[in-house]
Amino acid sequence: MAILVYAEHDNASLKKATLNTITAATQIGGDVHVLVAGSGCAAVADEAAKVVGVSKVLLADNAAYANQLAENISLLVNELAADYSHVVAPATTTGKNFLPRVAALSNVSMISDITAVVDANTFDRPIYAGNATATVKSSEDKILVTVRGTAFDAAAAEGGSAAVEAVATAADLGKSSFVGEELAKSDRPELTSAEIIVSGGRALASGENFEKVIEPLADKLGAAVGASRAAVDAGFVPNDLQVGQTGKVVAPSLYIACGISGAIQHLAGMGDSKVIVAINTDPEAPIASVADYFLEADLFEAVPEMTSKL
Ligand code: FAD
């Protein structure tokens, strides 16, 4: 049986997490079909059809799926899942929201946040905030998994030529409705897909200091801004900037941690970054143990100096 990948998108274009998820699906083995559920989203289906490794795209284009409400999406996916051995979704807010509902509807367990495919039934996933890796084997007929995007390379976005097939099912449960959304607008790259991240911690002491110290460096580097939970809880920055166990999981080429101690819950979100730079007054801070470059310095002096020299 084939594998169904749920596409993450905004009705206009495919989100990058989908490409990482497709790679995980191809590693499981078998035909990979991609479901594009949305409204006015034919362009997304065409984009998905070009991704290397995809053999078919299912297009569920209906007003019921416009905002991808988990109640409606889970019903659709549950119905389609009958023809598939695996349903695979990115471990994003959307995937984490609808796939457990599919698991409940189809009465199977779900394996979340996989970081490696061992074989078609066996997967690695982090436990204890990334301190250990569990290898989980499923003995069920249907396997539902969410995929940690940073653990898999993105599939090539161009080069495939899959057929697009319309799905007739339209499920509007009427249990929830979309009221509105407030999207943070920023010219900076999105945190989870940024190549460079400059993060600030409690040591910043205020939101103004984030603006004065962290943001200019981020702008010079074309980087995204991140933060520790302490900085978020203190109200210096909004919580969508939080990196860590209860925030976002990132793996940029370069992660610069300014005034962040490196608590285990923070490391769980950025430990896979390729190069880690830490700027901290305390050489004993735990972040020193994962940093490739550790600068023992006051961030209020070191960061503006770095910014001015770039
Ligand atoms: P601190 O630990 O207070 O560290 C501040 C650092 O700044 C220190 O190392 C200090 O030496 C340094 N410093 C001080 N002044 C300066 C200066 N002038 N220049 C340079 N360095 C300076 N945390 C997360 O980040 N993300 C999460 O997702 C997350 N999830 C959690 C989930 C749970 C269930 C729990 C219990 C905790 C979680 N935490 C998370 C919180 C985590 O345990 C830490 O409390 C938090 O990460 C600390 O943030 P911090 O490093 O900014 O602050």
Q: What is the pLDDT of residues 18-74, one digit of tens each?
A: 999 999 999 999 999 999 999 999 999 999 999 999 999 999 999 999 999 999 999
CA of 279 to the centre of ligand 1 (A): 13
Phi-psi group of 180: left, alpha or beta (phi > 0 → left; psi -120 to 50 → alpha; rest → beta): left
Per-residue model confidence (pLDDT) at position 64: 93
Query: 234: closest CA among 207, 266, 257?
Result: 207
Query: 287: closest CA among 262, 265, 255, 258?
Result: 262
Q: Domains plus CATH for the chain?
A: 2-166 (3.40.50.620), 191-309 (3.40.50.1220)
CB of 242 shorter than 6 A to ligand 1: yes
Q: Are 145 and 181 in contact (CB under 8 A)?
A: no
Per-residue model confidence (pLDDT) at position 257: 98
CA of 192 to the centre of ligand 1 (A): 20
Q: Are 65 and 90 in contact (CB under 8 A)?
A: no
pLDDT, tens digit, 9 for 90 and up, residues 140-166: 999 999 999 989 999 999 999 999 999
Per-residue model confidence (pLDDT) at position 71: 95
Per-residue model confidence (pLDDT) at position 242: 97
Distance from C-alpha of 187 to C-alpha of 122, rounded to nearest angstrom? 40
CA of 284 to the centre of ligand 1 (A): 14
Query: 111: closest CA among 100, 98, 101?
Result: 100
Q: Which amino acid is at 298?
A: D
Tell me the β-bridge partners of 248.
243
Residue with tokens 């030529």: 161
Q: How confident is the model at residue 263 (pLDDT cuts 50, 70, 90)?
A: very high
134-144 burial, b if ≥16 CB within 10 A, otherwise e?
Answer: eebebeeebbb
- Nearest CA, atom 33, ligand 1: 265
